[in-house]
Amino acid sequence: MALSSSYVFRETGGNLRRNAGMTAAAIIAIAVSLTALGGVLIMRQAINKASVQWRGGVEMAIFLSPNVSPNQTAAIRQELSTTPGVSKFHYVDKAAAYREFRTIFGGNSDITGVLTAADMPPSFRVVPSRAQNINELGHQFSGQPGVLKVSYAAQEIQSLLDQFHRWRILGAALAIGVLIAAVALIVNTIQLAIFARRREVAVMKLVGATNWFIRVPFMLEGFIHGITGALLAFGLTYGLRNWIASFASDPTILGPNRLYVSPVEAILTGVVLLGVGVVVGALGSAFAVRRYLAV
């Protein structure tokens, strides 16, 4: 028996209408679980942006005052060049510092709208020859003329990771718990649809309908649950991306500034959510069909 698209969509639509309440519950459960998952992914992206200044093995940053004089900058550069504990270093001028600033806080118009490259503190990024040298180097350069502050990678990154770790555990637990409930709802919804049409299924089998002819509408129903819930989660994650990212911000490091996730990064996260939603819907429907539809 040939399987036509009109038959599949008609039967699937009928199943969705007959079990509207269960369908809505399954979609909402998937949306909640995938939004929690999306929140964890968004926070991870935000932390990756916040640690941009520590890439390349940099363990210490000597931030200079925005109005530091050329002589003061040259003196610090010379001292870094002759200090035995320094493996290598590089200078980040105001323009490069502003690019980093836009990378980290580009979505916060309250600060990006009023600050310019001239307001950015230049800095030296330092890689020590041994990790044990880092505190000694920090004390050496702290308080020197033209130095605004000395920051350590280990301290700042660990603080951000600690903040993220708490939210990651909560988000993962919520996502897993609700996702299990969503799969159970999908299975139960399709089970009810199969039960409501048990006589029709028996008749179709008697007249020679193949297994796939009978199963596909029920499987498509689960797919629709998954993709619809994922689309809702996608919209929520995209719209709330910067608010979600702010939960990974450590106020002791970033102050009142919130981390930022670009629209492109949020879209990539949404693609992951869509993929997970499709898999969840397909697995739930496949289990229900295999378990409760004996054809």
For residue 225, CA distances in Å to 23, 136, 141, 173, 183 come to 7, 59, 59, 22, 10
Q: What integer pLDDT is reported at residue 178 of this predicted model? A: 82
Confidence (pLDDT) at 285: 82
Least confidently predicted of 137-146, 190-199, 224-233, 274-283: 190-199
Q: How many CB atoms lie within 10 A of CB 51?
A: 16
The larger pLDDT score, comparing residue 193 to residue 273, is at: 273
Cα four-point dihedral sign 134, 138, 141, 147: positive
Domain 54-153 has CATH 3.30.70.3040: yes
Greater confidence, 214 or 239? Answer: 239
| Tally: H helices and E strands in the chain | 12, 4
- Report the side by side order of strands in the sheet with 86-92: 86-92, 123-128, 60-64, 147-152
Q: Which of 216, 219, 167 is nearest to 37 (CA)?
A: 167
Count the neighbouring beta carbons within 10 Å of the beta carbon of residue 84: 6
- What's the whole-model pTM score? 0.64
Q: What is the pLDDT of residue 72?
A: 92
pLDDT digits (tens, 9 = 90+) for 152-210: 776 666 666 666 777 778 778 888 888 888 888 888 777 777 776 666 666 666 666 56
Q: Which residues pair with 91 in a beta bridge?
A: 124
Give which of 32, 13, 35 is closest to 185, Cα–Cα. 32
d(CA 21, CA 28): 11
Q: What is the pLDDT of residues 236-254, one digit of tens each?
A: 999 888 788 777 655 444 4
- Residue 220 has which token pair? 């498509």
Number of Cβ within 10 Å of residue 72's Cβ equals 16
DSSP assignments along 138-181, one per residue:
HHHHTT-TTEEEEEEHHHHHHHHHHHHHHHHHHHHHHHHHHHHH
Mean pLDDT (the chain) is 77
For 19, the 3-state DSSP assignment is coil
pLDDT tens digits, residue range 123-155?
998 888 876 677 788 888 888 899 888 887 766
Confidence class for position 289, pLDDT limits 50, 70, 90? confident
Which of residues 61 and 162 earns the better pLDDT score?
Answer: 61
Q: Which of 277, 276, 281, 278 is nearest to 222 (CA)?
A: 281
Say yes or no to pLDDT of 59 above 70. Answer: yes
pLDDT in tens, 85-105: 888 898 999 888 888 887 777
- Kindly list the domain boundaries of the chain, sorted by start residue: 5-51+158-292, 54-153
Q: Tell me what pLDDT residue 204 has.
A: 63
Query: ∠75-76-80 over CA atoms, to 5°?
Result: 120
Averaged pLDDT for residues 288-294: 67
pLDDT at 1 over 50: no
